[in-house]
Amino acid sequence: MNSHKIIITGPESSGKTTLCNALSKHFNLPFSKEYAREYLNALKRDYNPDDLLKIAKGQLQTENGLQLLDTDLITLKIWSQYKYGSCDNWILTQIEKQKIENRFYLLCSTDIPWQADKQRENPNDREELFKIYKQELDDLEHTYFIVDGENRVENSILKISSITSASITNSSN
């Protein structure tokens, strides 16, 4: 049985981690956390493009064996290109390799208020970044569902259940 990987993605402060926590509880699945937060919390300086490659490698390691992911390499590609104008070839190669996997994306909309924290730096361009995420998922031909509105969790659960009913069991019945 091929299992799906469910990836929560989207611009910063779009509710990714909140949604991931809710889905983890509902489906009784562990999830990979956003490695960038751990890495940047430990960094004693401003990050640079070389750090993004280290973050990408750490993020990929967190995916091992897990079905539910709080972000993936596409986020690092988009941010690298957006902030620095380029992306390391290693990241691009890994993203291409992932095209053969059963990856399903929940693309979080920017229809919730931006909330500041020390790792967020882009409150004004979230809609532009959302369009970049959508285009990237279209270009890679990944299946995705846009998460927006007031019933984000419920709608995501319904969508995941319809796509992956053979590979994810709802333990709460």
Query: Rounded CA gap, 37 and 83, in Å?
Result: 17
pLDDT reading at 169 higher than 70: no
- Would you place residue 112 in the very low, low, confident or very high pLDDT band (cuts 50, 70, 90)? confident
* pLDDT exceeds cutoff 50 at 18: yes
| Residues 43-96 pLDDT 10s | 988 899 999 999 999 999 998 888 999 999 999 999 999 999 999 999 999 999
Cα distances from 161 to residues 56, 98, 121, 127, 128, in angstroms, run 29, 22, 34, 28, 30
pLDDT over 70 (residue 164): no
Burial grade of 6 (CB within 10 A; 0-12, 13-18, 19 or more): buried
* Three-state SS at 68: strand
Cα–Cα distance for residue pair 150/147, rounded to 1 Å = 9
